[in-house]
A and B are shown apart, each in its own frame.
Chain A
């Protein structure tokens, strides 16, 4: 088989696979190179599976609207069940601080046509049965958001792309980016050399290292978050619930959980002091802290059985926004990195936009908004996203 491709995607994860899929669907000959043994073995499988368009950043709103379309229509289009559940997102507020933040975001969210509203305490208790009512002010609820299984979704995208001719090479680490003049020529892995005019860096937590091969300093630094899942229980909870309050234990800045379409409750918290680095082993701190927070918010969860815990990486950028761009210095090199822990929900939307950018010179979404994700933006100047 010839080693020439139209596009080579580095990374077979949340971003690489949908990007490769959409390129393949456009008739491109695509190669995905992945250092682990199969797709989604990096951070994809660590994701909770929540998918919302109700962000505060316009670019993320547009990208996730695209993602939501793709996820929600997937089974109809491709016949594969990816665990889609349209349950919405709910951000309950117990303090005016959170109430103010949430309410302040509604205008911009609504301006993009997002279905999100402020509900009073009773409204929230209706969408989150059993939620602690003492001190509950109200909260936002966005019924059109949802969730899917990251495991099933990436396997489905992998299968469709492969059926359409996309080639995957697993257990191959990229060791060199072949550049001639200022043009991409291909890549060399530990095993082979592949030629292409277009390389997409979708290497997730390893994005920075891949950037170095091209002499680029990509500001992506991983930190880690722990998560867990329960045994399935009877469906009772529609939305993914985010409690924005910092925890009284001073270890968590917020936490969230969701009941997936199998009935299992998946949960996670944001550590108030980030765990920097790439350690993915569970700590003894996580379960006691997250369990206490969950039982405080939704006491009836105390009886569900905890099945498994894990820890995944958030490839963070300094301003909390992804980097989606073509590299000016090297023609044919594209970046789709720094998803800041939201790669799964952003993935299909990014994939579509990157495909369009590569093949037709412009993203699907409005160029001006897409440009806010530029590699050349001021990462330290603009303010951070409010709902991270």
Chain B
């Protein structure tokens, strides 16, 4: 807990201290910091207790979509994750339902304004931003809204180098930097054409074709000719005992805390989910100096890119495949996690439990499109497009590319001529593709010389290494983006450009010239962790591509330069016979879980967190024949809380499946506006600050 004081990738800005109180305790926040992050910085992760049953509440979505982090700030109920601390602010835990301050004079109110625009883009993430750039390039006016204070969406949380195609979507560049590049590009073309509204959230689309936007606290209606929904994704959740404890949250929340707000939300993290999101989050945690105790994946293999997995394993994170989380235990927040093995039908295998002492469990088990506005707009007959995750869940590189295509389609829709290269659709499809098969082949080496060893054996859309080699000696199969790269030259200059650019950190330079007697070899390894002591520790343990021990080596130097984009190169002296096996150095010890059994409280699992509805209650109704989720909602209030069913809807569908109900017979709940809760005064036209 506390603040991140140093980070290998992110710069730590100097920010002013602001004092505020939480439950009468005097604390300091940083300027522009949201309440939740300020509390985490002080080690506070329980913000209050639920009005219905007193269960502890903390941060969950960190995105303004739920109400778990609800606190009372200066007398008003607010979401801690979306509310910036102001000097002298009094923050209190919610005790029961919030009391309305007795402000009984009628405030001044103004009429809601309707703004017409040729195109409204909702969401300033990779897809929306890319689309807006295309609009601007072709002279189409529009408005781009985003609910955060900066553009870039989830790009702003990604410290790692992106995959994809270097020419088409900034592969090899870090997400945080891509956000800036796109923003600059928009400024370059879009000056005066695309209006950017920050801190502006879309509350929904109405049947009269208007979109409600709360722009910096004021309600505006936008009537677009064309609407582009680029609202991204929301994370799926799992239901297990303790899943509702503070300290269980998604990757988005984690990355927001760590990479945006630079706080340490945890000392010991466990991860559930071996897709890219889970793997990358683990890497982000390690970069922030957080101990990643382990990662479980219910499938026999992790679904994320193998290079991401290898990276994590090389850093000593144990990965348990065919394992799942049984439960989380703790009084007011997570204290330990229990995992157990599962068979091919995901049934738990008895006596395989392992218990780990952790304070946080990160859930990364998939994403669902945030497409409610898109679906409604379509139903209302509006000209509407979706892009990025809102259209189809894929990598951010795909979202950027896909956003560009949508942007150009919108340009065409406005009647302006605009060319969409045919090959763009192909590239988009490749970028969206799932990782392909793994093919091991013996690497091409140059005995007695220097050469790269590329440990990239899985078909993924990625090409930066092929573009940076000055000798043009790294190739992928002609015309493909997903082919495996291989070194095919007779000469390697030893420049290590490929080592520096590979997003998977999967390339090591082997120098056999180092010792003419061929007793030792010199390896050049990439590292992105903030271990200042690496340079000084001469003797290190070496590890193979997935963390298995190889032997020992000596660090003879660390190369870092501004041109290396925050990636350092370790020059490692290893025994000659190890040169083809060493892929990294051991930087940390893995934690072993203890054996133990788990009390089963499956039935009391909370499914609807907002209204505190248990699995037992829902299953009872399903067994009574309830098939309409609207009826379950009426009877139990599932989905009637602040989040509007964003988390529980999928979980309830899962319960239907578990009960053997054909999902064709299940009626989904009706979606209702607004997408997030908004004070009545905002709709009334009470000016902010009045």
Contact = CB atoms under 8 A, between A and B. Distances in A.
Contacts of B633: 151
Contacts of A235: 97
Contact of B77 (A38, A305, A308): A305
Interface in B99-116: 99-107, 109, 111-112
Interface residues of A, number: 49
B27 interface: no
A118 interface: no
Interface in B622-665: 626-628, 630-631, 633-635, 640, 642, 644
B359 to A, nearest CB: 30
B679 A295 contact: no
B411 to A, nearest CB: 27
Interface string B668-690: 00001110011111111110000
Given A37-B667, A299-B106, A300-B101, A287 B683 contact: yes
Interface in A16-34: none
B688 to A, nearest CB: 12
Given A231-B642, A303-B76, A303-B680, A308 B674 contact: yes
Given A299-B105, A307-B642, A308-B674, A155 B631 contact: yes
Contact of A45 (B380, B630, B681): B630
Nearest to A230: B680
A15 interface: no
Interface in B339-377: 376
B206 A302 contact: no
Nearest to B379: A281
Interface string A232-246: 111110000000000
A288 B644 contact: no
B207 interface: yes
Contact of A37 (B627, B644, B678): B627
B672 A292 contact: no
Contact of A285 (B103, B208, B627, B630): B208
B533 to A, nearest CB: 50
A300 B51 CA distance: 21
A193 B626 CA distance: 23
Given A292-B684, A295-B681, A37 B98 contact: no
B234 interface: no
A129 B379 CA distance: 42
Prevailing SS type, chain B contact patch? loop
Nearest to B644: A308
A110 B677 CA distance: 42
Contacts of B97: 232-235, 263
Interface centre among B679, B682, B684 (most CB of A within 10 A): B684
A287 B634 contact: no
Contacts of A230: 680
A281 to B, nearest CB: 4
A212 to B, nearest CB: 27
Interface in A116-169: 129-130, 132, 151-152, 154-155
B308 interface: no
A252 to B, nearest CB: 14
Nearest to A229: B640
Contact of B98 (A45, A233, A296, A306): A233
Interface in A291-350: 291-292, 294-296, 299-310
B679 A300 contact: no
A235 B107 CA distance: 23
Interface string A37-55: 1111100010000000000
A284 interface: yes
A284 B681 contact: no
B628 A41 contact: yes
B326 to A, nearest CB: 33
A231 B207 contact: no
A291 B681 contact: yes
B610 to A, nearest CB: 10
A283 interface: yes
Contact of B99 (A151, A234, A282, A288): A234
B221 interface: yes
A37 B77 contact: no
A194 interface: no
A234 B207 contact: no
Contacts of A41: 628, 630-631
A154 B677 CA distance: 27
B680 A307 contact: no
Nearest to A297: B106
Contacts of B679: 302-306
Given A281-B206, A284-B212, 14 more contacts: A38-B634, A41-B630, A45-B630, A129-B102, A130-B104, A282-B204, A282-B673, A283-B207, A283-B208, A284-B210, A291-B684, A306-B679, A308-B672, A308-B674
18 contacts: A37-B627, A41-B631, A45-B630, A151-B634, A155-B634, A234-B96, A234-B100, A281-B379, A282-B673, A283-B208, A284-B206, A299-B107, A300-B101, A301-B680, A303-B680, A303-B681, A308-B673, A308-B674
Interface of A: 36-41, 45, 129-130, 132, 151-152, 154-155, 170, 230-236, 263, 279, 281-285, 287-288, 290-292, 294-296, 299-310
- In the A-B complex, the 4 residue pairs with the smallest Cβ-Cβ separation, listed nearest first, are A302-B681, A38-B631, A281-B207, A151-B634
Interface of B: 51, 67, 76-77, 96-107, 109, 111-112, 204, 206-208, 210, 212, 219, 221, 376, 379-380, 626-628, 630-631, 633-635, 640, 642, 644, 667, 672-674, 677-686
